[in-house]
Structure 1
Amino acid sequence: MSAREVFFLIGRNETVLYRDEGSGPTFIPDARTRWEAIWSRRDELVEIAHSHPVGPLAFSAEDDTTMDAITSALGRTVVFSVVTPGSMLRRIVSPDATAAASDQVVDEEPPWAAELRRQSGV
């Protein structure tokens, strides 16, 4: 299996509510079905995670605008994660622009992180 970026919606109790994948390691094209999945699961949604199977352990500029759009649409705080072959990064994003978001490397990864890596081909 070749490396590809994979996307998970995570609910309460670390449950994977939805998954999607790109065709390559650095990009998942925008899709209406993904936005509909986010909206239809908004009451259950706790975290949105995606992989960077070839790195970096960082959120991209596109990730930043997507996070802002999602938290603005939902009107509440959401946790976002990036999972790489060797680590995981989380950011808590609030729709309140005065609340600064900071990235935290995750020491104890949730169970779904291993599945996200496996589906990403790493």
Structure 2
Amino acid sequence: MSTQEVCLLIGQDEEVLWCETSDSPVLLPDSRTRWEAIWYWRHELVEVAHSHPEGPLGFSSEDETTMTALTEALGRAPRFSVVAPGGMVARVEGRDVWVSDEPWWAEPLREVSGMTHAPMARA
């Protein structure tokens, strides 16, 4: 099975508001449709999550610039997260934290992304 990056916009009560898939396992190209969805859901938007099906378990430099742009555009910082084969990391109050109690949508995100590995327990 091929892998692909996937982006989710998450609202209150972990509701998936919107989903976009990429043709690439390592890149989610900038998209006018995604920016329009973010703006449309801006009042309900709580979290922007995406997958790194081939790693890393962390934010890339492109993720960093996108998070800065989103925070400036929205006038607030939603939670940002990355779901990878080895687990999940979220940006909380400017710090990256391991998410041990993953939300319900993390495993379906892995499946849609084509990940075959379950999250590893953290020592």
Within-5 A mapping of 1:1-122: 1-92=1-92, 101-122=94-115
Over 6 Å off, 4+ runs: none
Where 2:46 maps in the other structure, the secondary structure is strand
State the alpha-carbon separation in 1 of the partners of residues 57 and 103 from structure 2: 17
After superposition, the C-alpha distances for 1:1-45 in whole angstroms (9 at most, x for unaligned) are 311000000000001000001101100111100000000000000
Distance (Å, rounded) in 2 between the aligned partners of 1:53 and 1:17: 21
CA contact (8 A) 1:79 1:90 kept: yes
- RMSD between superposed Cα atoms in Å: 0.9
What is the CA–CA distance in structure 2 between the aligned matches of 1:109 and 1:65, rounded to whole Å?
25
The unaligned stretches of length 5 or more in structure 1 are 94-100
Structure 1 distance, partners of 2:76, 2:96, is: 18
1:85 Cα deviation (Å)?
1.1
Q: Percent identity?
A: 57
Q: Deviations over 1:57-83 (max 9, x none)?
A: 110111001000001010012100000
Contact 1:10/1:18, CA 8 A, preserved across alignment: yes
Number of corresponding residues = 115
Partners of 1:114 and 1:85 in 2: CA distance: 10
Q: Is the 8 A contact 2:70 2:77 kept in 1?
A: no
Gaps of 5+ in 2: 116-123
